[in-house]
Structure 1
Amino acid sequence: MHVDESIGIQLGQMDQELSLFHDVEQALSLSDLARPLPDPNLPCHTRSIIQTSYWYLIDGLHSDVSAAKPQSFELRPTLKQLLQDFIHGTLPGRVPPRHLQLLLHPLQSLTYQSRSLLSWARSTSSLVFSGIAASSVLETERLLRSWYILATEAHNEQDAYTNDTIVSLILYHFIFLNLAANLADIERLTNPGILDLTFWQRFLQNQGGFRSRQEAIFHCGQALRHLRGVGAAARPWWWPAAVRRAILTLWAASHLAPVNADPNIPGASSSVFPMEDVWQQNPMDVVPETNLSAPGLCIVAIDGVAPEDACFRNTNWSEKYIPVLTRLDEGVVVLTDAMGILEYGISLINAFPRSPEGEAVVAMLKGLGQAWEGK
């Protein structure tokens, strides 16, 4: 094994351990981005951005770097060049899905750096430092949204999401989620061993580690939307962990829901109800006391509605509408129902082929529900 291959394997393993679902930044640095990008037309049998990055780093790359075609490999841009063109808005054309997925790697690093700046800014009284942190977050969000535009442009050309694009969109929403919420704090919060009153009082007082509860809800819902849509053959190894993370974040957010919940939800004793009950209310009905139109019950299925939907254009959509999850039995779960959210996650994992990782997540969610009910 060559030295560069050994280094590539070590970096791949390190990134796999210290990746998006382990709350730490990646091991890759800018010096690792100087290799030509892989041929987007070659078959790729990996199921994760970490594995894709690994093949990119050790890149022999399959037959593409054989003596027969050395020049085509050398003429391809590097990931570093792609990142620079992306940042400056000088991309020459459409970016292939595989290259878009690789582009998420440095964007994820920027996200972790911005999150660290935010954490440091909260621990200091320096207005200058706080301003730097805020600027870093805004710029990172701008770049992530620009990446999303590239991904959706490719989708519009193909009229259907490829599995590569779906996986990339899942990762995109989880990367963005890291800016909206402190996922490490939420993981600690959901440990059944620390569900005590003092901890929860501090959680509620500090808004539970959410920089933006609405943004967190949005990205969790969109991630779940794509997690449900990815094909079984293309399902990545981290699929159960992704479901777990989204469900735990929504579960934590449910405890910070506005207290003025809509009293007109069908079945007031439960926030789980059939979808047809949601639409039985006629918005043209008249309230006798005021002779005005009765407000209709407006819900937003965060795991069923695309980001481009008009409902998300309202800056306070999570307060104007009732955010829900769509159950596999066509009912919905309102996001104020903590136990319903856990049950949604359990049913989602159980609906797909069993795996040790999935069973571990189901056991964890059940344990959390039992511990919470016992408090």
Structure 2
Amino acid sequence: MKIVKLIIKLFIGVFCIVGLFIAVLTIFEYRPDDIEDVDILNNKTQTVSLNESLTFMTFNIGYAGLGKDEDFVMDGGKSGRPDSKETVLEYLEGIQSILSEYQADFYLLQEVDQKARRSYSIQQVESIAGHLGDDYSTQFAYNFNVMFVPFPVSFSEHIGYVKSGLATYVNFAVESSERLQFPGAFSWPLRVANLKRAMMVSYLDITDSDKQLVIVNLHMSAYDGDGSLRAQEMDFLKAFMEAEYEKGNYVIVGGDFNQTFPEAVGVYEVIQDYYVAYPIEDNFLPNGFSFQVDVTTPSCRLLNQPYDPNHENTQYYIIDGFIVSDNITVEKYFESQDTNQAVTLDLGFEHSDHNPVVMKIRLLP
């Protein structure tokens, strides 16, 4: 009888602790407004011009914690974070070297940690800004802002606190920048320790034009079992693009869509189902828009194991790229290209579980 009472007391104690924990997370839950202004640090003065070649890079850097030697528990691996701060610093240095080697006028980066336990509190937004130097402004918007993520359930492997999101670096004048909250959310209490997905929009004035260049940096939902979050996010994005196009603006959307582009369906056999990149609907694109995707090179890998291109369980995806409006012409990024299109840089997933995608464009008069 005493043992039964002890078990009941322990059960009640654990229940109370868990309840208190969830209550605290709920009280301090990040609740962004639908639209929030984003600070533009070190803004530039030179405006973009029509018929001027502009270069872009979109790159999910995986918080400098998902390089070639890493796996991740939600993808079928074992780890919750890298083994050491030195590992993160090494990956971050490699990522920054990529930004220098493939210089762009616009860097659209995802999963950039402002401060997080998983990346050993390294201030990555600031580090990258310092590496790029004074020629670039910085914009940052949260995609993930949680005081504690109790997953995986391990003292050493749990994710803990996370302040992370979208970072855009630009070497032209940005007139304004906004964080637009995507509709939809996980149900309570799961949402209190989860991402609050958004897209960050940069508006740039154009020399001798009454139109604007509109740049969208986004990282859309993953691990959305019934697809409801993806559907709401895509509807929101489509309506936004249609509205900006109706104004006559030049629109470029870049980022990690966490979905397979229509052109890439079937390119890589699905051999793992820990994370499924569902195809974007064929009828998603509004009139006047097109995808800019490279189907010859994977843009992402599954983190079920450290990277091994020769292993039978290595899973690839094409989920990173651009959408452009038809008042923009896409040029060859490399002179050796056969066609004018975006290019995925085949960098062997050395420093991230994603490869960067680059593109060169001109704004048509």
TM-score normalised over the length of structure 2: 0.26
Greater share of helix: 1
Structure 1 or 2, whichever has the larger Rg, is: 1
TM-score normalised over the length of structure 1: 0.26
Greater share of strand: 2
